[in-house]
Structure 1
Amino acid sequence: MFRTLRLATYASLLTLGGLAASASAAELKVVASFSIIADFAKNVGGYRAEIATLVPVDGDAHVYEPRPADAAALEQADVVLTNGLQFEGFMSRLIETSGTKAPVIEVSKGIEPLKAAEEEGAQHESEEHATAENGHDHGHEGHHHHGEFDPHAWQSIHNAKIYVKNIADAFCQADKAGCATYAANSEAYLAKLGELEAEVKAAIDAIPQDKRTIITSHDAFGYFEHDYGLKFIAPESISTEAEASAADVARLVDQVKEEKASAIFVESITNPRLIEQIAGETGLKVGGTLYSDALSGEDGPAATYIDMFRYNVNTIKAAILGS
């Protein structure tokens, strides 16, 4: 039923537990808004759930434009999974257009959201009040777009565990006969996330305190910073829709020099040109690509959430320590 929805992406997502070969065994038809949530859903749903995703792997949910096939997918879904926190600006219109009767689950429910203005990693935040008083716009469109909270809550593994529990609860409600399966699958996956969190903390502990400031394309790592002790600064705000101005870039270059940032990275969903410009002006070498808002394809380094987190941490550590 979902074969009209981005066939290539669909085929890459429906692989857990032999689902691609036995989709007829699925009891639950699920639509996830983007690839990270789809991966959580696959781990919880196993063979009982048929998972489709709207924003494809390597896609940017900030600027995604829905297609007619997306509305058709929602119409036929048993469960719709979204991040919430105003991350998917396109979803409310799409849900209304589709006429879906499926429950729409915001999987971030229950986390402690970070206020956008409290993210110390965003260089433009310290000037928010001055900006408002002066009536000048320094690229804050993203805050208007997303509201007062940072929506990138999956960048905390603690929060990812809450996402998984919410998905398991939603699946149990929609398919009570499969609840034992969903509970067992979620417990097994939560154990893996616990192991990942210990691994991440050990990797960050190996980085000296005075080398933990890094630069990324847009402000997507506030929860990572909050939980794991790295400091992220970015030329673009919460949303990739908001382009950094020349003044933003100049301030960031000054901040990089003042705080002695250790590394700079592009993100998989953004144009590398701005980061390459900043690298050139600060003398930093681009340390690689980080995955923030989307997974990679199956042949990439971030094909699952666990792969993504491990890859990001190892890439950051290698760029800072030179190993």
Structure 2
Amino acid sequence: MAAVVLLCLALTACGGNASGNGSDGRPVVLTTFTVLADVARNVAGDKLQVESITKAGAEIHGYEPTPGDIRKAAQADLILDNGLNLEAWFGQFVEGLDVPHAVVSEGVEVMSIAEDSYQGKPNPHAWMSPVNVQIYVDNMVKAFSELDPQNAAAFEANGKAYKAKLQAVQDQMKAKLAAVPKNQRALVTCEGAFSYLTRDAGLDEVYIWAVNAEQQATPQQITEAIGYVRANKVPAVFCESTVSDAPMRQVVEATGAKFGGVLYVDSLSETDGPVPTYLDLIRHDSQLITAALSGAGS
């Protein structure tokens, strides 16, 4: 990574974009992944050009930036990252770049990872609570207003309108998941990415591995998941879109639980897919979880 950054510095004189404009004349905001890009576009409106480093479907934890990514970052006016150790590669990525960046999770009430080698470290998936994303929005409004002061009022208005949508989706999610029977209120997934969602909805969370950076499930992890599903008669289990569901399929085969479907966390889908926006992601996941745990899933 350091070598790639040095190469970029040598070839492109990496630094803040002197013009302060993107290809269409607007300042450029670069985010680390697609979920942040969608939220940022809602706050920016038509005043800023927002792009994501990673593409739809990419796994964010262990992403390896390309020289092209670094050249793009060097020409940005602002970079947004999630923080909370989500982007393990980010520190080296911005090293040597004279581009301001903002951590959008700043101020979130952080939950800790409960086990594995990551025990005690922050769970980075804070955006899985729309309440937390309202804090993300506030941080974006502040960062955008500092970048482009003449449009600060527009960013404030956009942020307020989007926060209302976030609260509505949060309320809908809680109402949907409240329909899951009490004896079936356990969300079993591949990654421990749903701590904030399960906290908000009053579900128990169980997972095979804590963080996708170590997504090769061990026999012990799979055995523990099988034991939990059997002991608690969990009707359905799930996996995320950015990783292989093979380990969870072993749990299904061993327990007779249904595979409830593919949940989205670390990435949106393409525009013609099931979750082209963050609001769609929350709606999709809550609907899928409710249907599968209530016995209505396929």
Provide structure 2 residue ranges, at least 5 long, that are not aligned to the other structure. 1-21
Structure 2 residue 289 is the aligned partner of structure 1 residue 316: yes
Cross-structure match for 2:72: 73
Structure-2 separation of matches of 1:282 and 1:155: 28
Partner in structure 2 of residue 304 of structure 1: 277
**2:24 corresponds to which residue?**
24
* Cα distance in structure 2, aligned partners of 1:85 and 1:34: 14
Residue 105 of structure 2 is aligned to residue 108 of structure 1? yes
What is the distance in 2 between the residues matched to 1:30 and 1:299? Answer: 24
Give, in whole Å, the separation in 2 of the partners of 1:200 and 1:150. 21
Give how far 1:318 is off: 1.2
- TM-score normalised over the length of structure 2: 0.89
| Mapping of residues 136-215 of structure 1, within 5 Å | 140-141=116-117, 143=118, 148-215=121-188
Distance in 2 separating the partners of 1:191 and 1:46: 16
Residue aligned with 1:296, SS: coil
1:41 aligns to what? 40
Match of 1:131 in 2: none
Counterparts of 2:239 and 2:205, CA distance in 1: 12
Contact 2:177 2:289 in 1 (8 A): no
Residue 224 of structure 2 is matched in structure 1 by 251
Q: 1:229 and 1:101 mapped to 2: Cα distance?
A: 44
SS of residue paired to 1:69: helix
1:52-63 → structure 2 map (5 Å cutoff): 52-63=51-62
Deviates more, 1:252-261 or 1:43-52: 252-261
Matched residue of 1:279: which SS? helix
Separation in structure 2 between the aligned mates of residue 23 and residue 189 of structure 1, nearest angstrom: 26
Provide the C-alpha distance between the structure 2 equivalents of 1:307 and 1:215, rounded to a whole number of angstroms: 21
**Structure 1 position 214, deviation (Å):** 2.5
For residue 198 of structure 1, give the secondary structure of its aligned residue in structure 2.
helix
Give, in whole Å, the separation in 2 of the partners of 1:285 and 1:110. 38
Q: Provide the alpha-carbon RMSD of the alignment.
A: 1.5
Deviations 1:99-156 (A, max 9, x none): 3222211100000101112xxxxxxx3xxxxxxxxxxxxxx35x18xx7111010011
Give me the whole-angstrom Cα distance separating, in 1, the residues matched to 2:103 and 2:36. Answer: 10
1:236 pairs with 2:209: yes
Residues 218, 240 of structure 1: 8 Å contact kept: no
Instruction: In structure 2, give the amino acid aligned to 1:212.
Output: R
Partner of residue 15, structure 1: none
Query: 257-266 vs 84-93, which deviates more?
Result: 257-266
Shift of 1:180: 0.9
TM-score by length of structure 1 reads 0.82
Q: Distance in 1 between matches of 2:121 and 2:294?
A: 35
Q: How many Å separate the matches in 2 of 1:304 and 1:217?
A: 22
State the AA in 2 paired with 1:84: G
Partner of 1:86: 85
How many Å separate the matches in 2 of 1:149 and 1:214? 20
Q: Hey, what's the Cα distance between the residues in 1 that align with 2:156 and 2:98?
A: 25
Whole-angstrom distance in 2 between the partners of 1:240 and 1:303 = 24
8 Å Cα contact 1:212-1:230 kept in structure 2: yes
What corresponds to 1:276 in structure 2? 249
For residues 87-107 of structure 1, the C-alpha deviation after alignment (integer angstroms, 9 at most, x for no partner) is 0011111101xx322221110
In structure 1, the gaps of 5 or more residues are 1-21, 118-124, 126-139
Contact 1:25 1:48 in 2 (8 A): no
Deviation at 1:209, TM superposition (A): 1.4
How far off its partner does 1:232 sit?
Answer: 2.1
1:289-300 correspondence to structure 2 within 5 Å: 289-300=262-273
The number of residues matched between the two structures is 275
SS state of the match for residue 197, structure 2?
helix
Contact 2:134 2:163 in 1 (8 A): yes
Deviation (angstroms), 1:244: 2.0
Corresponding position of 1:8: none
What is the alpha-carbon distance in structure 1 between the residues aligned to residue 113 and residue 263 of structure 2? 21
1:150-184 per-residue CA deviation (whole Å, 9 max, x = no partner) reads 10100111101000110111000110011111111
Per the alignment, in what secondary structure is the counterpart of residue 257 of structure 1? Answer: helix
> Which of the numbers 218, 226, 237 marks the counterpart of 2:191?
218
Deviation of 1:25 (Å): 4.8
CA distance in 2 between counterparts of 1:257 and 1:193 reads 36
1:267 maps onto 2:240 in alignment = yes
